[in-house]
Amino acid sequence: MSILADPKDVLHEPPSARFIFISLIIAFLLYLLPTSGALLFLRVELPLLVVLYWSIHQPNRVGFAIAFVMGLLVDVSDGNILGQHAIAYTLAVFLVLVLRLRILKFKLWQQALHILALLLVSQLLVALTHLFLPSTFPGWGYFVASFFGALLWPVITFSLEYPQVLAARARND
């Protein structure tokens, strides 16, 4: 399932725990970049995308617990009620674990369509939990972020796979 056509580049070894950890931290850091106004609608849930990538490719190492913790981190940094993103991320990880073997058979842009559905479901859940709180629905533009996130899926896959490919090449040489 490597993105690179070279048959030498098949990934035999799983990535190190450190690499997974750093990728999650970077995703969270990019998510924290200050945005306001219309840019908020393009704010991709990068932590969720990276968690989804790892739960597709390393389901034994990244799953519910990490998704839950990332959700809590996002909630604190956004000033949400604790648990709003945690529950949304948990549901997304559940769906991706159910669809995992199916998703892996597809090409990247077809995978992106699956990811789009998952992102929409998680955004919908966050919006639903907001209904019980004194908050304002920001308009349907809110869901644009999911489409943008799905567009980023090939980029995410490439940037998480390429370092592994490089590491594998270094080991083979």
Count of alpha carbons within 13 angstroms of residue 46, beta-carbon side: 17
Query: Could you say whether residue 80 binds other proteins (CB under 8 A)?
Result: yes
Given a contact cutoff of 8 angstroms between Cβ atoms, the answer to whether 159 and 108 are in contact is no
**Binder of other proteins out of 34, 105, 140, 170 (CB under 8 A):** 34
- Cα–Cα dist 44/40, whole Å: 9
Contact 172, 134 (CB under 8 A): no
Asked whether 150 and 116 are in contact (CB, 8 A), the reply is: yes
**Residue 36 binds other proteins (CB under 8 A):** yes
Q: How far is the CB of 9 from other proteins (least distance, A)?
A: 28
Please give the size of the binding site for other proteins, defined by CB under 8 A. 48
Cα 24 to Cα 62: distance, rounded to the nearest angstrom: 11
Residue 162 as a binder of other proteins (CB under 8 A): the answer is no
**Of the candidates 57, 47, 53, which has an alpha carbon nearest to the alpha carbon of residue 14?**
57
Q: Is the distance from CB of 96 to CB of 77 less than 8 angstroms? A: no
Is residue 82 a contact point for other proteins (CB under 8 A)? yes
Q: Measured between alpha carbons, how far is 166 from 172 in angstroms, rounded to an integer?
A: 10
The answer to whether residue 22 forms part of the interface with other proteins (CB under 8 A) is no
Q: CA 25 to CA 19: how far, in whole Å?
A: 10
Q: Closer CB to other proteins, residue 78 or residue 106?
A: 78
Q: Does 23 bind other proteins (CB under 8 A)?
A: no
Q: Is 7 in the site for other proteins (CB under 8 A)?
A: no
Q: Which is nearer to other proteins, 28 or 147 (CB)?
A: 28
User: Contact between 40 and other proteins (CB under 8 A)?
Assistant: yes
78 binds other proteins (CB under 8 A): yes
Contacting residues toward other proteins, per CB under 8 A: 25, 28-30, 32-36, 40-41, 43, 60, 63-65, 67-68, 71-73, 76-84, 86-87, 90-91, 94, 97-98, 127, 129-130, 132-138, 142
